[in-house]
Structure 1
Amino acid sequence: MRAAVVVAPGRTEIVDIERPRPGPGQALVRLEGCGVCASNVEPWSGPDWMTFPTEPGGLGHEAWGIVEEVGEGVRDLRPGARVASLSQKAYSEYDLARPEELTPLPPLLDGAPFPGEPLGCAFNIFRRAEVEAGQTVAIVGIGFLGAILTRLASAAGARVVAISRRSFALDVARRMGASETIALDDPEKVVARVSELTQDALCERVIEATGAQPALDLGTRLAAIRGRLVIAGYHQDGPRQVDMQLWNWRGLDVINAHERDPQVYARGVREAVAAVASGLIDLEPLLTHAFPLDRLDEALVATRDRPEGFLKAYVTCR
């Protein structure tokens, strides 16, 4: 099979390796595609802590495909089943996964890309945000994750204020149900506008979805007294500072919303499958850039640089 290997900072190569065979309690999945996660950009770029070459397929973890073969003891999966996978070497044509890492996809979704891991992440974040009808929810950063959270919060009856630097992303947020959109060109103007919209009460829920220090600072300022600041962005490039005085004064609940429990992750993916199948979430306008596996570097560059019209990239594995 073919698999991508990161061989040097910012450079991948495709290698031919032996196809794995499933052992007891494993399934072999013939991968159709894999989403490109923003968390891939940092290790791919070559920080001091990174070593090369990576394992074949490594970094890829947002896959979907067809069960090819199952190992001894696997009873609830059959070859031919189409699944979303939480496996970890998915920049490749095949990957091994445990049954609990696989979520069946209904026939209604046949042929459509389905990066289950980030979708499950969005649903788990939303659950922990505890958004309620009538609340004002600020979402700082409208990419793939922020757009889905905008849809979920608006569908729950909240007033969503979407904040982004990119006019394209704000257009997407309006289509996802945002009541207000604010360009993030000056944080002071954003705070002033949100204060105006809420009669100085600010937001019962703020979801930071960028993974950057300035968005964390802004999110803190937008949170209401006894509000909830939900950290959905993946902060991977070093320590962060927080305004603990403001956190204390406002009595904020601060939620680090990334899950690490495999069962919770799988639950989020199942909820996402149901939401996409029902039409609550339309993935087509959110998966904006597709690349073949041998152009993974280009997909990562797009994920890093976010060109006009970009929300989410994925690679096709065959």
Structure 2
Amino acid sequence: MVAQQAAAQAAPRPDSDVPESMRAAVMFGPGDIRVVDKPVPRPGPGEVLVKVSVCGMCGTDLKIYDGHFPGTPPYGSYTPGHEWSGTVVEVGETVDEVAVGDRVCIEAHHGCGRCENCMAGLYTCCLNYGDVAKGHKASGMTVDGGFAEYAIHHVAALSRMPTNVSDLDAVLITTAGTGLFGIDMIGGYLLGQDVVVFGPGPVGLMTAQAAKQLGARQVILVGTRDSRLARGRDLGADHTINARQSDPVAEIARLTGGEGADVVIETSGNVAAPQQCVEAVRRGGTILVVAFYPEPVTLDLSAVVRQGVQVHTTRGEGGNNVRRALALADMGRLRGEELVTHEFQLDDIAEALRVVRERDGDPLKAVIRF
């Protein structure tokens, strides 16, 4: 049986060197993920087949693993993974933007391209979300993703990678796109402003870097783990605050001359953080929320209104901001690879999920390497 599987995997397609089958992680139920053989998909019009080099793992993958993420395909065939990069091995009809051999990274979301939100660049809020027949695909969320040797994605959601951007960098490029999209939607103008970032996880650390590169006067990073705060200082944060050791609101007030921050960005997902954002922002300032929460949160909305504070939310990496993040990385202004702390083989994906959930060994970004 093993020999037959190996032979099937090695058998090339009639028109290429791509095998007919591949190893892929498949969800069979909540908490049940297995590595099995699956057919290698063929790209349709506008699609690209990529040999995956690396696929990152984040909190969304834990929600998917637990069965708490809406819109995923049926159990027994579905492969998650939405932070991946690799090399183009086949292209579908009409594709001339990339070629076989190109290294690419992805935007997880490809909107339908026909609804009002997509036409406005808000494809992470596509009005046809999850409707594959109308063209929407969210890699690893509503369609198969990158925890597999090969993955399909639409060419519009792929970007060619410069030679000086590594595969591990690319995993964090999608993450950086999340922060940049949020900054874009609040005006994209941080020059001379005081910016606070709650949560020194991958999104927070990439967002803090981006804020500094976009001209923030000072970037203040708030978290609870000294190791991550230290990483934030290495990446350019001007000040870090351990919320377990001091009151972050009081410290932010001190660092901003008692006025509060111009922009407060919440990336932590801690249910107490939104109210701290309200207390930390200046009158007339801006709060940006890009996190998901395990339960409803409580905040003083009357204070928000009295202070004339603008509250914005964004989901994912819309507005072409992955390509902007890639440009910053190409210029050496966004550092991603050093955030990768744990690497696993595909066969060990269940162990990788356990490590991320239990924070075993203080993982910052865990990836599956192929």
> Shared topology, TM-score over 0.5?
yes
- Within a 5 Å distance, the mapping from 1:297-312 to structure 2 comes to 297-312=350-365
- Within a 5 Å distance, the mapping from 1:70-219 to structure 2 comes to 70-85=91-106, 86=108, 87-88=139-140, 89-109=145-165, 112-115=168-171, 116-129=173-186, 130-155=188-213, 156-185=215-244, 189-219=247-277
SS of equivalent residue, structure 2 residue 147: coil
Give the Cα separation in 1 of the matches to 2:64 and 2:168: 29
Give the Cα separation in 1 of the matches to 2:52 and 2:325: 19
Q: Note closer, same or farther for the CA distance 1:9–1:17 as it changes in structure 2 (3 Å cut).
A: same
Give the Cα separation in 2 of the matches to 1:51 and 1:76: 29
Do structure 1's residue 269 and structure 2's residue 327 form an aligned pair?
A: no
User: Deviations 1:3-26 (Å, cap 9, x if unpaired)?
Assistant: 101223333100101111112221
Query: Could you tell me whether the CA contact under 8 Å between 1:10 and 1:44 is conserved in 2?
Result: yes
Give the Cα separation in 2 of the matches to 1:56 and 1:48: 13
1:228 is matched with 286
State which structure, 1 or 2, has the greater radius of gyration over its C-alpha atoms. 2
SS of equivalent residue, structure 1 residue 43: helix
Give the Cα separation in 2 of the matches to 1:48 and 1:19: 25
SS of equivalent residue, structure 1 residue 200: coil
Give the Cα separation in 2 of the matches to 1:121 and 1:173: 17
User: Deviations 1:148-182 (Å, cap 9, x if unpaired)?
Assistant: 12212223142111110000011011112222111
1:56 maps to amino acid: Y
Query: Could you tell me whether the CA contact under 8 Å between 1:227 and 1:253 is conserved in 2?
Result: yes
1:258 maps to amino acid: R
Q: Note closer, same or farther for the CA distance 1:165–1:54 as it changes in structure 2 (3 Å cut).
A: farther
TM-fit CA distance, 1:67: 0.8
Give the Cα separation in 1 of the matches to 2:84 and 2:339: 16
Structure 1 residue corresponding to 2:332, chosen from 272, 279, 293: 279
Q: Which has the higher contact order (CA 8 A, sep 6+)?
A: 1
1:249 is matched with 306
> Larger deviation: 46-55 or 11-20?
46-55
TM-fit CA distance, 1:84: 0.5
User: Deviations 1:114-163 (Å, cap 9, x if unpaired)?
Assistant: 12422322221232343523322111110111111221222314211111
Query: Could you tell me whether the CA contact under 8 Å between 1:33 and 1:113 is conserved in 2?
Result: no
Do structure 1's residue 30 and structure 2's residue 30 form an aligned pair?
A: no
Give the Cα separation in 1 of the matches to 2:57 and 2:158: 18
Q: Note closer, same or farther for the CA distance 1:154–1:76 as it changes in structure 2 (3 Å cut).
A: closer
Do structure 1's residue 20 and structure 2's residue 77 form an aligned pair?
A: no
Give the Cα separation in 1 of the matches to 2:169 and 2:348: 17
| Identical-pair percentage | 29
CA RMSD of aligned residues (A): 2.2
TM-score (norm 1): 0.90
Q: Note closer, same or farther for the CA distance 1:245–1:285 as it changes in structure 2 (3 Å cut).
A: same
TM-fit CA distance, 1:209: 0.7
User: Deviations 1:72-115 (Å, cap 9, x if unpaired)?
Assistant: 22122211111012333211111111110110011223554512
1:296 maps to amino acid: I
Query: Could you tell me whether the CA contact under 8 Å between 1:62 and 1:90 is conserved in 2?
Result: yes
Q: Identify unmatched segments of 5+ residues in structure 1.
A: none
Q: Note closer, same or farther for the CA distance 1:106–1:253 as it changes in structure 2 (3 Å cut).
A: same
Q: How many residues align?
A: 310
Give the Cα separation in 2 of the matches to 1:151 and 1:111: 19
Q: Note closer, same or farther for the CA distance 1:119–1:54 as it changes in structure 2 (3 Å cut).
A: farther
TM-fit CA distance, 1:242: 2.6
SS of equivalent residue, structure 1 residue 288: strand
TM-fit CA distance, 1:32: 0.9
Q: Identify unmatched segments of 5+ residues in structure 2.
A: 1-21, 109-138
Q: Note closer, same or farther for the CA distance 1:57–1:230 as it changes in structure 2 (3 Å cut).
A: same
> Larger deviation: 69-78 or 113-122?
113-122
TM-score (norm 2): 0.78
User: Deviations 1:239-259 (Å, cap 9, x if unpaired)?
Assistant: 333311111111111010225
Q: Note closer, same or farther for the CA distance 1:6–1:161 as it changes in structure 2 (3 Å cut).
A: same
Give the Cα separation in 2 of the matches to 1:16 and 1:40: 21
